[in-house]
Chain A
Amino acid sequence: QVQLQESGPRLVKPSGTLSLTCAVSGGSMSSSNWWSWVRQSPGKGLEWIGEINHSERTNYNPSLKSRVTISVDKSKNQFYLKLSTVTAADTAVYYCARVSGGIDYWGQGTLVTVSS
């Protein structure tokens, strides 16, 4: 059973950088799956941020591409999200997830608040 767990600062100052880690257990990140970040603003819908695969190939949402970096450390079975120059609009629950014909495994999500 694959499990994902997000971690990182829950409060980020405006204009700062949001950094999250996703730890994957029960499965290898060297498999053929893609690994994604998705966010959900309070009371709103879901927004796909981007993804990375075992070859470190990435795809990003163009609406965030200039500010997003997703990376992976297969030796640690972890992948990462960095979102720069954040504003209050980036306040959301951030989920890490595995993509396999849809998103079949999700982390529990972590609420990140952008505030001074």
Chain B
Amino acid sequence: DIQMTQSPSTLSASVGDRVTITCRASQSIGNWLAWYQQKPGKAPKLLIYKASSLESGVPSRFSGSGSGTQFTLTISSLQPDDFATYYCQQYDTYPWTFGQGTRVEIK
């Protein structure tokens, strides 16, 4: 299986901060990567697909970049609604696999 490793595991930040989360794949996945936001008790929400394509309805402060094995999710100016856990997921090779998550908490 392709291992997806996110860093950091937890991130403390303030409203207005620029936040970057990294996801590394154990082998090349091209640009077949998605990012999700999950809040407690809720299903994940798709933010980014194909590494850098913004899902419809997602605020433009979210952006994704990368290809191959190294990817980043950036929130340009953190808003109160953005405190949540973020997951990356590869869909290049079965079985699809997720990162372990990055919790963004209030500093």
CA distance A108 to B95 in the complex (A): 23
Stretch at the interface among A57-65, A70-78, A82-90: A57-65
Cβ–Cβ contact B95 & A106, under 8 A: no
Which single residue of chain B is at the shortest CB-CB distance from A104?
B46
Evaluate whether A102 and B43 lie within 8 angstroms (CB atoms) in the complex, with A45-B87, A46-B89 already known.
no
- How many residues of chain B are within 8 Å of chain A by beta carbon? 24
- How many residues of chain A are within 8 Å of chain B by beta carbon? 20
Using a CB–CB cutoff of 8 Å, the interface residues on chain A facing chain B are 45-48, 59-63, 95, 97, 99, 101-104, 106-109
Contact sample, A vs B, 19 pairs, CB 8 Å cutoff = A45-B87, A46-B87, A46-B89, A48-B89, A48-B95, A48-B97, A48-B98, A60-B95, A62-B1, A101-B50, A101-B53, A102-B50, A102-B55, A102-B89, A103-B34, A103-B36, A103-B46, A108-B42, A109-B43
